[in-house]
Amino acid sequence: MSCGEFELIARYFNRVTSSRRDVEKGIGDDCALLNVPEKQTLAISTDTLVEGVHFLRDIHPADLGYKALAVNLSDLAAMGADPAWLTLALTLPEVDEAWLKAFSDSLFELLNYYDMQLIGGDTTRGPRSLTLGIHGLVPAGRALRRSGARIGDWIYVTGTLGDSAAGLALLQHHERITDPVAHEALIKRHLRPMPRILQGQALRDLASAAIDISDGLVADIGHILRASECGARLNIDALPISSVLLEHFDHAQAVRWALSGGEDYELCFTVPEINRGALDVALGRLGVPYTCIGQVAPEAEGMTLWQNGEVVELNLKGFDHFDAQ
């Protein structure tokens, strides 16, 4: 198959399906032109996904299109931002129209769900990888940050932890668990994480700090603690672990995945005691569970893990591309 680079981009990615009025010029010039509304702050994040490192070689392009955007949306969620625009740099070993169609259809489905617009990108030949640049808007002064946690604040997470790591393990080892529904549920948690956009926005005036869990709970809480100059006590018994995970895996393995498996794309956040009632009102109506798993402590204490009222030592490691591979 031979088709020019520009044509290729045009065919699959030049779709304007959003109703955004802040896009003055989208794809088709040297730059996109965007207008940020008054009293809104722009939130920008960028993430690269490399084949063999961040996604398996045999991933379905529809899953990749979804997940690439979802993990970037998760960064916006962690700031309490409202999704707006996306840039996509796509490097592909060859032009495969079936692949492009499935990938782009899936990407645009999620873009449309959030009324986002693809405003630019680049397509190049090379080893398969993607870099997304995501842009969101947040009312001035109300963005969530990692640095606001204070001693005594309560530590929460949304959803359940460890399912994504279990799903990845199943995919990597080509294993199946006996219950097909449970099997698919875990795979889906890995391939189709749900960015917690609404939860992030609901937390804007309630949480003192927030992060999304990509590297693993312990590693990501570590980022909050370093930025906030605090320690933390985490209660292992309180970790929200799904019944699927508990039924089909060893309890110790489930706990390890919950603490350090990574790619959960849930939010971890801290809430001052005074905001806990308002938190229940704000998050309670959004249909996703949230769980208090510990408390912010003085920095000198570091991060301690507690089980049955005692400190435990666990050998854990966050996912690090240059160490773990």
- The amino acid at residue 282 is A
DSSP 289-321: -EEEEEEEE-GGG-EEEEETTEEE--------T
- Residue 83, helix vs strand vs coil: strand
* Site map (CB under 8 A) of a second copy, residues 301-320, x = contact: -------------------x
Residue 321 binds a second copy, judged by CB under 8 A: yes
Which among 257, 228, 235, 229 has a CA at the least distance from the CA of 304? Answer: 235
Residue 89 binds a second copy, judged by CB under 8 A: yes
Q: Which residues are 232's β-sheet partners?
A: 296, 303
Q: Smaller CB distance to a second copy: residue 101 or 248?
A: 101
For the chain, the residue count is: 325
Q: Which of 61, 65, 83, 136 binds a second copy (CB under 8 A)?
A: 136
CA distance 68 to 55: 10
- Residue 258, helix vs strand vs coil: helix
Residue 291 binds a second copy, judged by CB under 8 A: no
Q: Which of 24, 96, 237, 247 binds a second copy (CB under 8 A)?
A: 24
Q: Smaller CB distance to a second copy: residue 104 or 242?
A: 104
Pair type for strands 40-50 and 129-139 = antiparallel
Q: Smaller CB distance to a second copy: residue 61 or 136?
A: 136
Site for a second copy in 67-86 (CB under 8 A): 75-76, 78-79, 81, 85
Residue 33 binds a second copy, judged by CB under 8 A: yes
* Site map (CB under 8 A) of a second copy, residues 201-240, x = contact: ----------xx--------------x-------------
Which among 324, 200, 210, 204 has a CA at the least distance from the CA of 262? Answer: 324
Residue 258 binds a second copy, judged by CB under 8 A: no
* Site size toward a second copy, by CB under 8 A: 72
Site for a second copy in 50-69 (CB under 8 A): 50-54
What is the four-CA torsion angle of 264, 252, 314, 311, rounded to 10 degrees? 110
User: Is the CB of residue 263 less than 8 Å from the CB of residue 47?
Assistant: no
Shortest Å, Cβ 19 to a second copy: 19
* Site map (CB under 8 A) of a second copy, residues 147-186, x = contact: x---------------------------------------
Q: Smaller CB distance to a second copy: residue 92 or 259?
A: 92
Q: Which of 96, 97, 115, 122 binds a second copy (CB under 8 A)?
A: 122
Which among 124, 135, 99 has a CA at the least distance from the CA of 18? Answer: 135
Binding piece for a second copy, criterion CB under 8 A, among 137-145, 179-187, 229-237, 244-252: 137-145
Shortest Å, Cβ 136 to a second copy: 7
- Residue 149, helix vs strand vs coil: coil
Shortest Å, Cβ 53 to a second copy: 6
Residue 197 binds a second copy, judged by CB under 8 A: no
Annotated ligand binding at 45? The verdict is yes
CA distances from 44 to 9, 22, 137, 141 (A): 23, 16, 9, 15
Tokens of 207: 């949480």
* Numbered residues of the known binding site for substrate: 54, 263, 319
